[in-house]
Structure 1
Amino acid sequence: MLNQAVGPDHPKTIFSSSVYTSPLFEADRLARSQELIREAFQRSERVFGVDNLLTLSCKVQLAVVLISMGNADQGTSLLREACEGIAQTVGQEHPVVFANKSVLAITLIGAPATKDEGFLLLQHCLDTQTKTFGIDNRTTLVTAARLVLCLWKDSRTSEALALCEKILTALPDGPRRSNKHSQVEIRKIEELKLRILADSSEEVYLSG
């Protein structure tokens, strides 16, 4: 409909094409998802340029799809380029920059050769977001939960629990803490802590 109404090169058409890839991605129709998002990325790059936010957003999505299809090297390279481009366009401390850098960090953590770099990047994101937005900001809490989960999956249980405790203890009373969006992320960290504790107790029981 949008294609017919405003043309294939209209921002709304390109955005619609990129959004449509999400349900395909979730349904494991990765080949079709890659085809659509690559087409949207190439069209956006041709029409609006390489530094346009829509182009860079499509680039991030294409990178994630490629990584999910097993093409980690190309996907990670694209993701690095997109993160750098977005930071140059909107500024280093924009929330969307941290969101995409977190995705890059988690990708790097998933590969043995870049695992340490990934953990350093994710910790840097958390430290900078805490300083810039506050520990009770929703985006900061999202990054914190991601770092906790990555530490736990890497068998760094004590560090994961310590980070949970640090975050939950540091949360100040105030309007942000009662904000429904922040509350969702706080509950996720609390639930993560309980899961890690339960998992640790089970390991001790089995080893005993």
Structure 2
Amino acid sequence: MPHVTAAERRPQLIAAAIELMAREGVAAGSTRAIAAELGVAQATVHYTFGTKADLYRAVMESLTEELMAGVRRAAEGATSLEEALRATADAVLDDLASRPDLNTLWLELVAFSLRTPELRTVVARYHEEIADIAAGALAEIAERTGREYAVPPAELARFMACGLDGLCMQQVLQGVPLPGEETRRGLDLLVKATAALAYGPEN
């Protein structure tokens, strides 16, 4: 049997862990079960990642990569603040609708991380990266349109992100595959509220 390097094995184990935990929940994600999912020895998991927390960290980072890329693409082509906010929000909800099991797994891992300090840093970094991307896009739009904001772009980004987190949680709790009318109305209100906050009373 050909030798598989740790670098080659790493994405395979991450994929196996995601498939297992998305199907059976985070509690089922032992290193023994993940190894069995891929058909390798348990020692292979420990050799590749060192600790179970390291593996879970890699899983969390992998789950956010696609969403982060979608948010970046959505913000790049916007020509107005409202367009950027709408595109970003749609990217987040589209990701939730297209990968419901993986987003549920992400929420499970977030809850799990509350008692695992080394994983809390992953969650914090994810939120910081989302906020940084949004703040950068908002600053670029202000420069292109020549309209200054009444509050700093970073504060606008945090406001929008918190609202999106709430809408996504609502969607998960409703257990429906696509955003319903209530979620869409909430999204419209969030976009309008963020734009009003950005430009102040005169908007």
What TM-score does the superposition give when structure 2 sets the normalisation length?
0.35
What TM-score does the superposition give when structure 1 sets the normalisation length?
0.35
